[in-house]
């Protein structure tokens, strides 16, 4: 089993939104490294730290799990979508997505608080310039975060 931190803007998909759905498609990822994590490394049952980003107080807002293997992101083919990619086609998709299943909402473990925890100092989301929407989390980081929730 692997662990991931997945960022979502809460005004697009929040942990509350994800909890209302049986599964939530993780669409709109337009970074090749993040896409490759979904396509090449994620498997059903992997743990997910659901992270609210681009908001007043960013941080881990819940727990989820990966609920599917990667498949083509349909938004890349829709000209009316913000995520449309004219270079993508159904025969040659460029962007992938996975489904996630929200497990529970947690107290907000803010970015500011995460930065104060020595055991999390190497966590990718805390590194200067880190902007990826999906990053791997080590088992030690996962267990540390769980102990704080």
Domains in the chain: ranges and CATH: 3-138 (3.10.590.10)
Q: What is the pTM of this model?
A: 0.94
Pure H helices in the chain? 15-20, 32-36, 111-114, 139-148
> How many residues would you count in the chain?
149
Tell me the C-alpha distance between 60 and 47, whole Å: 13
Query: What is the three-class DSSP state of 82?
Result: coil
**Average model confidence (pLDDT) for the chain?**
96
Tell me the C-alpha distance between 52 and 136, whole Å: 16
What is the average pLDDT across 42-53?
97
Tens of pLDDT, residues 77-117: 999 999 999 999 999 999 999 999 999 999 999 999 999 99
Given a contact cutoff of 8 angstroms between Cβ atoms, the answer to whether 37 and 4 are in contact is yes
């Amino acid at each position: 089993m692997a662990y991931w931190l997945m960022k979502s803007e809460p005004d697009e998909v929040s942990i509350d939104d994800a909890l209302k759905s049986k599964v939530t498609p993780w669409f709109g990822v337009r970074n090749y490294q993040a896409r490759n994590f979904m396509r090449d490394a994620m498997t059903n049952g992997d743990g997910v730290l659901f992270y609210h980003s681009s908001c007043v107080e960013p941080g881990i807002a819940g727990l989820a799990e990966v609920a599917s293997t990667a498949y083509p992101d349909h938004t890349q083919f829709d000209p009316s979508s913000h995520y449309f990619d004219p270079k993508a086609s159904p025969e040659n998709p460029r962007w992938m997505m996975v489904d996630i299943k929200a497990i529970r909402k947690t107290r907000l473990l803010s970015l500011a608080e995460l930065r104060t925890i020595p055991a999390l100092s190497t966590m990718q989301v805390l590194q200067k310039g880190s902007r990826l929407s999906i990053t791997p989390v080590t088992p030690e980081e996962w267990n540390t975060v769980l102990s704080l929730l």
